[in-house]
Structures are given as structure tokens and as C-alpha cells.
Structure 1
Amino acid sequence: MPYTPPPDLAGMSLMEVAQAMHDRGLPPLDQWQPEHVGDSEMRIAADGRWYHQGGEVKRTAMVRAFASLLLRDEDGQHWLVTPHQKLSIEVEDAGFIATDVKCEDGALAFRLNTDDLVIAGPDNPLSVEGTAEEPAAYVAVRHGTRARLDRSTWLQLAEIALANGDDPSVSSNGARFSLLPA
């Protein structure tokens, strides 16, 4: 079945974003306890590109499929998990890149480089690391993974914060997030 990406985030209502997230039908990684543990020989570069044995994975459908199996444990190790295997994967920064943001009805919706959609809130918090001169902003995605906001998305988020006054923070789904590094 051919993959049809969701429409541009700007053209979607918050209800449509929530429905698209629901319809994604992700596998229940947290319910699987595979016996075989190994190395995937894969890497996700800081810019979001995926590599296998040194060669870039260029098929979007493959990246999207692998991303649906991505989990990060309490120690920060990333894994690709199936019912039968748990394979380590090297991640240089974050498993995903947030490439767009939309603010609507008190919620911030993000589009990721995998066409996944995430609505920030208590279950998907925003965090900012680094320094004031070089901040690195992230939104929690699922199964311990997170997405780093690319530069344009970070600037969009800063504009949203500035539109709300001098407080360098944003709110989404009832949660407030500082845009200053912790």
C-alpha cells in the first residue's frame, strides 16, 4: 500500500492532528519482551538521517518503518524493538527532528522528519538544553524518544512565546514550558 503523508501542518486543525496521531497505529513496543538482543549496525545522525552499515537509508518508507520501532531506555540507549529482537542503534542527538510547529487552541502540534505528529503537553513535554547562546530544544515523542527542534521550528516557537509577552515560555495542553536552558 503506498504511503500518503499527512497534509501540511498549517492546513490541519488540532482535531485533525489528533486523529492522524491516532490513525498512525504504532506497534506496542512496551508490551514486547524479545529474547534476542544484538546490534542493528544502524545510526541516526544529528541531522536526522538514518544509516545502515555506513550507507544512508534513503527510502522514506524504510525510515518511517524503522522509526515506528524506536525506543529509548532509562540509560539513554536507543533500540529497534520487534517481538523477536531488540537491536541497539546509535543516535547522535535525538531519534527525530521536529520540522514544523503550529499553535492552536492552547496546544502546540509538531511535525517530525518522519511525518509523525506530536502534540506537546504533560505526556510529551518540551525541554531546552545547552546555553542561552546555543539552546537545543526537544519535544518528547514516544517510548522515551524525543525530537530536536530544527532551527526554523525553534524560531517559530520563540515567536509564539514572544507573542504572549516577555515571559520566555510556551503552554500546551495545560502544561507550561520554559524556553530557557535548564
Structure 2
Amino acid sequence: MVEHYVSAHSPTEHWHASECGVGTFLIDSAGRWFHQGDEIKRPALVRLFASVLSYEQDKYVLKTPSETCVVTVEESPFVIVAWHVSEVAGQFGFEPTIICEDNLGRLWPICQVFPLHMASYKGQTIPHLQLNYGLSARVERTVYYQWAEIAKYNERQGSMTLYSAGQGYELT
């Protein structure tokens, strides 16, 4: 089922090029991409860069076969902006699965391969979806509130658990 939803990523793990000097790249906390201070406004170009982005050795990098460029990321490179419950999960023999859409329109199932976890940012604990290549996506506040409405509350533990693909993920 994962292959049904997840967008392809370039095989960056096979590329070992030297660092480039083409200026600075930044991804702000809203998931907007910048090059040398100017926002990259072409969605296709941002998706292309995202397809070669990875997190390795404690830094974000754009990797191509010929060069590697370091990217500054303010919080998380992507943002989960929408979600739905999979219509096709049952066809694959899976439990109901939450499918997340990121700010680039890519789809990610919440499952063992792409688990939900809580991370701290500016003194707040915020849910993040773990993606491939060491990347993650911060869950937008409106999505979090929608999930809080469907999560199961455990009175004894005082916690909320969101279920997807047969797994429980703590939201508190």
C-alpha cells in the first residue's frame, strides 16, 4: 500500500558528489523554499528540489550525481496540510489508514514505514510525520485539531491516541 501513495524520490543514497557553491537554500517553517533570499514560486521546481532532498550527517542536502548543496531548514522541510482515511486500504488487507497530504501535494500514509511522532519546536510539542531519507513533515495546527476530534482519549493515562494502519500514535 505504501507504494500506492508515496511519491518517488531520486536514488540520492547512491550519489556521492562534492558540495556546490551555488548560493544559499532555505526552507522556512511554513515549508516555503528560498534561494539566495528569493522565494522559489514555481511548484514544479520546488517538487524537483524536494525529490533530491535528504537529511544525513546532521544536515539537510540537495543531492544530484554531480553536486551536493546544503539547505538550511528552519523547522521541518514539509508541512502536512490535509488528510483523509484511505478508500483503498481494505483492498490491500489493511486497517483503516490515514493518508496525509503535504504542502507539495504528495501523499503519505501514517503507518509503520511513515510513523507519527511528537517533536519540540519553539517550546511546543508538535506532531511530525517521519518521511523517507531522514526527512519529516510538521503537522499543521488545523490538521492536528481535526485529528484530536477522532483520536481515542485514555482517561487513565490522560493521553489521546490516533489510530492508523492498525497502529496507535500518541498526540499528547
The count of corresponding residues between Structure 1 and Structure 2 is: 158
CA contact under 8 A between 2:161 and 2:168: conserved in structure 1? yes
Alignment of 1:125-140 (within 5 A): 125-130=115-120, 134-140=124-130
CA apart distance, 1:27: 1.2
The whole-number CA distance in structure 2 between the counterparts of 1:62 and 1:151 is 26
Is 1:94 equivalent to 2:76 in the alignment? Answer: yes
TM-score, L = length of structure 1? 0.78
**What is the CA deviation profile of residues 121-180 of structure 1, one whole-angstrom value per residue up to 9, with x for unaligned ones?**
11111111339x94311001210000001111111221221xx34451112223321112
The whole-number CA distance in structure 1 between the counterparts of 2:10 and 2:45 is 15
> What residue identity is the alignment partner of 1:103?
V
Q: Gapped runs of 5+ residues in structure 1?
A: 1-14
**What is the CA deviation profile of residues 31-62 of structure 1, one whole-angstrom value per residue up to 9, with x for unaligned ones?**
2222x113551100001111110011111111
Task: Determine what percentage of the aligned residue pairs are the same residue.
Answer: 28
Select 1:64's aligned residue among 20, 43, 47: 47
Alignment of 1:16-165 (within 5 A): 19-21=4-6, 24-34=7-17, 36-38=18-20, 40-75=23-58, 77-104=59-86, 105-130=95-120, 134-161=124-151, 164-165=152-153
Structure 1 stretches of 4+ with a deviation exceeding 6 A read none
Residues 29 and 91 from structure 1, CA distance in 2 versus in 1: closer, same or farther, beyond 3 angstroms?
same
SS of equivalent to 1:71: strand
CA contact under 8 A between 2:153 and 2:161: conserved in structure 1? no
Q: CA RMSD in A?
A: 2.1
TM-score, L = length of structure 2? 0.82
The whole-number CA distance in structure 2 between the counterparts of 1:71 and 1:130 is 20
SS of equivalent to 2:54: strand
Q: Gapped runs of 5+ residues in structure 2?
A: 87-94
The whole-number CA distance in structure 2 between the counterparts of 1:97 and 1:165 is 25
Residue in 1 aligned with 2:91? none
CA contact under 8 A between 2:5 and 2:109: conserved in structure 1? no
The whole-number CA distance in structure 1 between the counterparts of 2:168 and 2:99 is 14
CA apart distance, 1:25: 3.3
